[in-house]
Chains A and B, each alone.
Chain A
Amino acid sequence: MRLLVQIGDTEVQLDLPSAGANPGTCALAGEPLEVDLCWIRELPGRALLSLLIGSRSYRLWVEQPGPEEAAWRVFSDDSEVLATILDPRRYSPASRNTHKDGLARITAPMPGRVVKLLVQAGDAIEAHQPLLVLEAMKMQNEVRSPKSGRVRQLAVSEGAAVSAQELLAEIE
């Protein structure tokens, strides 16, 4: 499983093994890491885990993002790190981008390139209908509409490079 993690201004690509009882060998920015993971406590919305990276031991509390937040909060003894996880395989334009007036703003979940537009401005669309294809981390992903309605505007064109959170389309 490949994920992109943003911490501050830096982004790092992580490859987690898709099978195996423990993460085992992971790759951080392409560099292999031996990782041993133990879940110590799991509570609603948060967990305590023990990580051995090589033989280096970390005791970390992890909290999932709140309703208005994008980042996972990771606490060590003295520090708090905000980590935003970008998953190229699965995401839906967040419903939190839907305003009360019914306007849904579709934004890029991660930096990438618009490969193909699947709809045009003014089109009537169904919920979950693909709007465009975004390529990120060498994988192509369909960006779907969170609701049925009409395409008010497409903010990007085919081939455009987009950054995370950049507006792609608006559905009304």
Chain B
Amino acid sequence: MAAARDVRGRPARRPLELRRDPIPASAKIRKILVANRGEIAVRVIRACRDLGIASVAVYSEVDRAALHVQMADEAYPLGAAAARESYLNISRVIEAARRSGAQAVHPGYGFLSENPEFAQACADAELIFIGPSAVSMRQLGSKTAARELARRHDVPMLAGAAALPTLQEALREAERAGFPVMLKASAGGGGKGMRRVERAQDLAGAYQLARTEAQSAFGDDTVYLERALDRPRHVEIQILADRRGNTIYLGERECSVQRRHQKIIEESPSARLSPQLRARMGDAAVRVARAAGYENAGTVEFLLDESGGFYFLEVNTRLQVEHPVTEMVAGIDMVAAQIQIAEGAPLPWRQEDIQPRGHAIECRIYAEDPANNFFPSPGRIAVWETPSGPGVRVDSGVYEGWQVPLEYDPLLAKLIAWGADRPEALRRLRRALGEFHISGIRHNLPFFRRALDDSTFTAGDVDTSFVERLLAQPRDLESEAAATRELENAAALAGALSYARQSQLVPESPAPSSSNWQQTARREGLR
């Protein structure tokens, strides 16, 4: 009998599974508390269920009806809606873990995920923190310390300087690195405390602003600077490291489609990375991780210039939002791998076992209004129809009828499409975007439809200025693609028939539901 073949006629790969044999039964995790909310909490709960591990949700007052609470095996309230009263409150999360009898805590991303005090608090409470140790988190969490570590291990980086305590030093270092420069917060993230400075005379003002912003956002006003690149690409390397010092990379993610330093579309592999460059970047990422004694999943971020030079940016000591694109091409469940690493299992793969297959692209679906400067748009989701079909994955934390709270990040879901190559992934993503229908709140689906229709994007030729240039094109973002005349006629009919139904001037056609539609019309008055 012939061996199993995949769609392209190659021998099918055996499923990648971690060996659990070497782990003593006592180290096996039987219950995990998920210290997060939204789509990532749902994602972790799914991995728990796949592994036969019980899951524990925590929730704030406004999240009682959230999807992650419904899906978990147990749920514990944390407190008020404000994150510092709930998802950022270390003692309450630890207390919930203690009450539930969980052996481990998965922090997701955001909230407490990169807080060394939380990792330490878990260790002190004899809970397994599913992530790196507090020590390596501290070492890599400070951007200036991480930069120093990377420099010592011959990882390329842009000319620049660590901590700049005075304006005089900032000026001297900026002159040495050469303008333009980027001022960045050492404790930073999400673009806060970040300033591009074109000329020496603008440095003083920008320096002060960056420090103030960093202080208010992170409670730490340490800033540093780097030479700025023109139209850089943002490429990051996913790493996995076990407790025994085995560290591998799972390829890269291209994250250049950003708005105000926030990623919106990510893909893997990068459309413009040669195998040689990938290997050099991967080796550099592994060197940084090893140097920090890193354990579990992490990401090393780089900037790429137009001539293929790459420069160390920072390390994210957690699971990333965009991890699904790596999962799709590597064929690895990264959350399951995280859990098994935390149990003490050795990595079952060597670097040469990692053979990326196909191409995956992710869109971050946010509750924000593209017509109103992407302002967050909380509210009740009236319609939530998600796409499916070949190569399509939706990681969602919401449902129809859910009231999107205004206290947290407005990420609703991630739409990921996989294809045998980039064009197929793009076609499937385009199709899936058409099947996606959200109503009742504003969302950024129209933005993605527009981005995918852009020739720069389809050619894979994006840099970090792509979104800005796309939005500068004269087109009304609120309205979606132009309709054909045929569709306009159908829309005219649909509108007229709906109007007539509300006016009750045409008899009912066989309908599968009671007519809320009409009741609403009566309530609101016919117009």
Which A residues have a C-beta under 8 Å from some C-beta of B? Answer: 1, 3, 5, 7-8, 10, 12, 14, 16-23, 26, 28, 33, 35, 37-49, 51, 53, 56, 58, 60-65, 67, 72, 74-83, 85, 87, 90-91, 94
B209 within 8 A of A: no
Contact B481 A78 (CB under 8 A): yes
Which B residues have a C-beta under 8 Å from some C-beta of A? Answer: 382-383, 433-435, 437, 439, 446, 449, 479-483, 486-503, 505-521, 524, 526-527
User: What is the predominant secondary structure among interface residues of chain A facing chain B?
Assistant: strand
CB-CB nearest in chain B for A76: B487
Which single member of A19, A39, A64, A75 contacts B437 (CB below 8 Å)? A75
Q: How far is the CB of B458 from the nearest CB of chain A, in Å?
A: 16
Which single member of B382, B483, B507, B511 contacts A45 (CB below 8 Å)? B382
- Cα distance, A72 to B496, chains bound together (Å): 9
Contact B481 A64 (CB under 8 A): no
Contact B492 A64 (CB under 8 A): no
Most buried by A among B492, B511, B517: B492
CB-CB nearest in chain A for B486: A56
Contact B493 A51 (CB under 8 A): yes
CB-CB nearest in chain A for B479: A80
Q: How far is the CB of A6 from the nearest CB of chain B, in Å?
A: 9
- Cα distance, A49 to B491, chains bound together (Å): 11
Collect the chain B residues with CB atoms within 8 Å of residue A77's CB: 434-435
Which single member of A16, A62, A78 contacts B480 (CB below 8 Å)? A78
Q: How far is the CB of A107 from the nearest CB of chain B, in Å?
A: 13
Contact A58 B492 (CB under 8 A): no
Collect the chain A residues with CB atoms within 8 Å of residue B493's CB: 14, 23, 26, 28, 33, 35, 51, 53
* 5 interchain pairs, CB-CB under 8 A: A3-B500, A44-B520, A64-B502, A79-B480, A85-B495
Contact B489 A28 (CB under 8 A): yes
Most buried by A among B437, B480, B486, B497: B497
Collect the chain A residues with CB atoms within 8 Å of residue B506's CB: 1, 16-20, 23
Q: How far is the CB of A109 from the nearest CB of chain B, in Å?
A: 10
Most buried by A among B382, B500, B510, B514: B500
Q: How far is the CB of A41 from the nearest CB of chain B, in Å?
A: 7
Q: How far is the CB of A139 from the nearest CB of chain B, in Å?
A: 14
Contact A79 B383 (CB under 8 A): no
Given A7-B491, A37-B509: A49 touches B479 (CB 8 Å cut-off): no
CB-CB nearest in chain A for B515: A42
- Cα distance, A85 to B494, chains bound together (Å): 11
CB-CB nearest in chain A for B480: A80
Collect the chain B residues with CB atoms within 8 Å of residue A18's CB: 505-506
Known: A12-B489, A26-B493, A64-B521. 5 other contacts (CB 8 A): A21-B508, A28-B493, A43-B383, A64-B524, A76-B490
Which single member of B487, B490, B507 contacts A20 (CB below 8 Å)? B507
Contact B481 A5 (CB under 8 A): no
Collect the chain B residues with CB atoms within 8 Å of residue A94's CB: 527
Name the 4 nearest CB pairs between A and B, nearest first: A77-B434, A83-B495, A81-B491, A74-B491
Collect the chain B residues with CB atoms within 8 Å of residue A67's CB: 524
Collect the chain A residues with CB atoms within 8 Å of residue B520's CB: 44-45, 64
Contact B494 A60 (CB under 8 A): yes
Given A5-B492, A39-B511, A65-B527: A16 touches B497 (CB 8 Å cut-off): yes
Given A53-B490, A76-B483, A80-B480: A5 touches B495 (CB 8 Å cut-off): yes
Contact B483 A81 (CB under 8 A): yes
Contact B499 A72 (CB under 8 A): yes
Contact B492 A60 (CB under 8 A): no
Q: How far is the CB of A73 from the nearest CB of chain B, in Å?
A: 9
Contact A62 B503 (CB under 8 A): no
- Cα distance, A12 to B492, chains bound together (Å): 8
Given A45-B382, A46-B517, A78-B449: A1 touches B505 (CB 8 Å cut-off): yes
Collect the chain B residues with CB atoms within 8 Å of residue A40's CB: 512
Given A3-B500, A18-B505, A79-B482: A44 touches B516 (CB 8 Å cut-off): yes
Q: How far is the CB of B457 from the nearest CB of chain A, in Å?
A: 16
CB-CB nearest in chain B for A65: B527
Given A5-B496, A42-B516: A81 touches B507 (CB 8 Å cut-off): no
Contact B507 A19 (CB under 8 A): yes
- Cα distance, A60 to B501, chains bound together (Å): 15
